[in-house]
């Protein structure tokens, strides 16, 4: 399991650790890991041109000490100081002692350099343009509210340069705790983060700004609490959670999932939800609704009933909603059952919040950003800008587990606790009906006995991997192909035959 901790928790752990170490030791560990990552990215350090963007805090201190290490190996290192009088003094001295230089980013003169009127900005632009490597030490976990105006031109110049941009701890300007990016921020090719991931590094839009993420161990782990703010399942976690039939299993013991989906207008939603359910490990899939003919034609193994959900026979979990149109009755009836229920698509619009809150068995809601926005009374843009607060709010309001789909899929439980972030997935999954496959898959895992948080996050993991595999090197895929690829990735996950799905996770 990969985990991320909020700034407050990181600060507390750092205080504890720092109290046991000589002054400055932690920063040296950070700078050493940062310099090693920079050297790797540069390939050849000797003779390379390195520019450090240095803010007034310890984030700038990390950059300066790492710059000193690179200067000692023969790099030409220039620090651009945003606040010369408040620059980390030890870091600045170390850089100078190693042969590096420093100048004011916004004007003035340092190191004996004359500042002509207007020449400094031009010089700064040229330095960044010609750099091989730009190290972003403007601000780290001490920042909030987007980049300050004085730092904005540096972020813009770094983006326009061909240099490799490495962010120190976080890309400056992103919100560490939520992944929000309000205004300008540094766009990094890589982020070297210290001690633990911060939630923002794993959640869009900030994740997009971070590039590949590398975690440097500074000895913080033993001082962090056992419960993280954000968790990402890995192959081994998923493999341990996947149901597998035992010798004495029969189809009922493996779990029966009921799918109440589709309509005369949208029979495909029923077929796709059933296709996902058939690949999620349940022993049987029961379909209830008006699209029985379409379902049985495609999947003859489905148990189809024409009557209402309450007359369909025993199930261990329900999926309700995909393509049901305006059939509120079916949603009410399923919510009245005493087994876990997954509500998706049209079902989300039709579900009565009080009825969901009153349920004693678990409920799992699986909206995309637009559906989540409708449930929260906000806009899709706002949900996409602040996914983590949105998914938490949704789970709290409904007293349910909420899975928020999209470029970063998040799962939050009703009682707080760690939010799961899905590390797999691909934008190729943004194809009609792929959400229906996901809901069938997650419902099947619920029927197989996983709790709602695990069922949702395992389903998102498999679905994301299946999307990647089906899309191969990058080709459009349909939702049916995603469903058909789940068996392959299931096998790979259980067999441990896959490398970690993405850098930084």
Ligand X SMILES: NC(=O)C1=CN([C@@H]2O[C@H](COP(=O)(O)OP(=O)(O)OC[C@H]3O[C@@H](n4cnc5c(N)ncnc54)[C@H](OP(=O)(O)O)[C@@H]3O)[C@@H](O)[C@H]2O)[C@@H](O)CC1
CA distance 471 to 490: 16
**Interacting residue with ligand X among 38, 190, 194, 203 (CB under 6 A):** 194
Look up residue 139 and give its two tokens: 């601000």
165 and 136 Cβ atoms separated by less than 8 Å = yes
**Interacting residue with ligand X among 35, 64, 138, 446 (CB under 6 A):** 138
Q: Minimal distance in Å, beta carbon 226 to K ion?
A: 28
Q: What does the per-residue mask of binding to ligand ADP show for 413-432, with x meaning CB under 6 A?
A: ------------xxx-xx-x
Using CB under 6 A as the binding rule, whether residue 57 contacts ligand X is answered as yes
By CB neighbour count within 10 A (0-12 exposed, 13-18 middle, 19+ buried), where does 44 fall? exposed
Q: Minimal distance in Å, beta carbon 388 to ligand ADP?
A: 15
CA distance 398 to 391: 11
Choose the binding region for ligand X from 142-150, 266-274, 425-433, 467-475 (rule: CB under 6 A).
Answer: 142-150
Q: Is 61 annotated as a binding residue?
A: yes
**What's the first-to-final CA gap in the chain, in angstroms?**
9
**Interacting residue with ligand ADP among 33, 290, 406, 443 (CB under 6 A):** 406
Q: Is 436 annotated as a binding residue?
A: yes
Choose the binding region for ligand X from 23-31, 105-113, 304-312, 314-322 (rule: CB under 6 A).
Answer: 23-31
Considering only residues 41-60, where is the footprint of K ion by CB under 5 A? 59
Look up residue 305 and give its two tokens: 């009933």
The DSSP line for 437-480 is: HHHHHHHHHHHTT--HHHHHHHHHHHHHHHHHHHHTTT----HH
CA 87 distance to own-chain centroid: 33
Using CB under 6 A as the binding rule, whether residue 137 contacts ligand ADP is answered as no
CA distance 29 to 196: 14
Residue 311 is classified by DSSP as: G
Using CB under 6 A as the binding rule, whether residue 154 contacts ligand X is answered as no
Using CB under 6 A as the binding rule, whether residue 446 contacts ligand X is answered as no
Residue 260's closest CA among 326, 318, 346?
Answer: 318
**Interacting residue with ligand ADP among 267, 433, 448, 501 (CB under 6 A):** 433
CA distance 315 to 132: 61
Full 3-state SS string of 236-300: HHHHHHCCCCCCCCCCCCCCEEEEECCCCCCHHHHHHHHHHHHCCCCCEEEEECCCHHHHHHHCC
Using CB under 6 A as the binding rule, whether residue 34 contacts ligand X is answered as no
264 and 290 Cβ atoms separated by less than 8 Å = yes
151 binds, among K ion, ligand ADP, ligand X, none (CB under 5 to 8 A by kind): ligand X
409 binds, among ligand ADP, ligand X, K ion, none (CB under 5 to 8 A by kind): ligand ADP
CA distance 254 to 244: 8
Choose the binding region for ligand X from 109-117, 132-140, 203-211, 298-306 (rule: CB under 6 A).
Answer: 132-140
Using CB under 6 A as the binding rule, whether residue 407 contacts ligand ADP is answered as yes
Closest to ligand X by CB, 82 or 411: 82
CA distance 219 to 196: 10
Closest to ligand X by CB, 149 or 226: 149
Cα separations (Å) of 76 from 68, 69, 93, 100, 154?
10, 11, 16, 7, 19
Return the number of other C-beta atoms located less than 10 Å from residue 355's C-beta: 13
136 binds, among ligand ADP, K ion, ligand X, none (CB under 5 to 8 A by kind): K ion
Using CB under 5 A as the binding rule, whether residue 193 contacts K ion is answered as no
47 binds, among ligand ADP, K ion, ligand X, none (CB under 5 to 8 A by kind): none
By CB neighbour count within 10 A (0-12 exposed, 13-18 middle, 19+ buried), where does 49 fall? middle
Using CB under 6 A, count the residues that bind ligand ADP.
18
429 binds, among ligand ADP, ligand X, K ion, none (CB under 5 to 8 A by kind): ligand ADP
Considering only residues 134-173, where is the footprint of K ion by CB under 5 A? 136, 140, 167-168, 172
Considering only residues 208-237, where is the footprint of ligand X by CB under 6 A? 218
Phi-psi region of 236 (alpha: psi -120 to 50; beta: other; left: phi over 0): alpha
Q: Could you list the residues that contact ligand X (CB under 6 A)?
A: 14, 18, 26-27, 30, 55-60, 62, 138-148, 151, 168-169, 194, 218
Provide the annotated binding site for AMP. Answer: 405-409, 435
Provide the annotated binding site for (6S)-NADPHX. Answer: 58-62, 140-146, 169, 269, 323, 368, 436
Provide the annotated binding site. Answer: 58-62, 136, 140-146, 169, 172, 269, 323, 368, 405-409, 435-436
Q: Could you list the residues that contact ligand ADP (CB under 6 A)?
A: 345, 368, 405-407, 409, 425-427, 429-430, 432-436, 438, 463
């Amino acid at each position: 399991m990969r985990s991320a901790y909020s700034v407050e928790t990181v600060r507390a752990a750092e205080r504890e650790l720092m109290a046991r170490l000589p002054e400055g030791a932690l920063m040296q560990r950070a700078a050493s890991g940062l310099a090693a990552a920079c050297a790797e990215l540069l390939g050849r350090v000797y003779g390379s041109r390195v520019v450090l963007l240095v803010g007034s805090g310890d984030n700038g201190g990390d950059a300066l000490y790492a710059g000193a290490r690179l200067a000692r190996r023969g790099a030409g290192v220039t620090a651009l100081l945003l606040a010369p009088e408040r620059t980390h003094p030890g870091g600045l001295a170390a850089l100078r002692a190693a042969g590096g230089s420093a100048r004011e980013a916004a004007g003035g003169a340092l190191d004996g350099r004359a500042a002509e009127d207007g020449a400094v900005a031009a010089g700064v632009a040229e330095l960044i343009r010609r750099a091989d490597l730009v190290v972003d030490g403007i601000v780290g976990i001490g920042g909030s509210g987007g980049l300050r105006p004085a730092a904005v031109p540096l972020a813009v110049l770094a983006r326009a340069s061909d240099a490799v941009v490495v962010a120190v701890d976080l890309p400056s300007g992103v919100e560490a705790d939520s992944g929000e990016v309000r205004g300008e921020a540094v766009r990094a090719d890589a982020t070297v983060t210290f001690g633990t991931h911060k939630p923002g590094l794993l959640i869009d839009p900030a994740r997009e700004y971070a590039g590949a993420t590398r975690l440097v161990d500074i000895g913080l782990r033993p001082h962090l609490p056992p419960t993280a703010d954000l968790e990402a399942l890995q192959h081994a976690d998923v493999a341990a959670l996947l149901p597998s039939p035992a010798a004495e299993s029969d189809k009922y013991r493996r779990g029966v999932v009921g799918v109440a989906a589709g309509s005369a207008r949208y029979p495909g939603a029923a077929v796709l939800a059933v296709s996902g359910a058939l690949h999620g490990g349940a022993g049987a899939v029961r379909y209830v609704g008006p699209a029985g003919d379409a379902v049985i034609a495609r999947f003859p193994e489905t148990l189809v009933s024409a009557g209402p959900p309450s007359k369909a026979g025993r199930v261990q979990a329900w999926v309700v909603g995909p393509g049901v149109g305006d059939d509120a009755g079916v949603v009410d009836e399923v919510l009245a059952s005493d087994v876990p229920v997954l509500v998706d698509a049209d079902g989300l619009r039709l579900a009565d919040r009080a009825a969901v809150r009153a349920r004693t068995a678990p409920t799992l809601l699986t909206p995309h950003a637009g559906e989540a926005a409708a449930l929260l009374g906000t806009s899709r843009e706002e949900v996409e800008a602040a996914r983590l607060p949105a998914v938490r709010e949704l789970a709290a309001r409904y007293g349910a587990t909420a899975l928020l789909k999209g470029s970063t899929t998040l799962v939050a439980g009703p009682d707080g606790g760690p939010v799961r972030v899905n590390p797999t997935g691909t934008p190729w999954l943004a194809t009609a009906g792929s959400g229906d496959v996901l809901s069938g898959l997650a419902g099947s895992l619920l029927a197989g006995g996983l709790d709602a948080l695990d069922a949702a996050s395992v389903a998102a993991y498999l679905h994301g991997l299946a999307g990647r595999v089906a899309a191969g090197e990058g080709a459009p895929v349909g939702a049916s192909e995603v469903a058909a690829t789940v068996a392959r990735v299931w096998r790979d996950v259980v067999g441990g035959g896959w490398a970690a799905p993405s850098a930084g996770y």
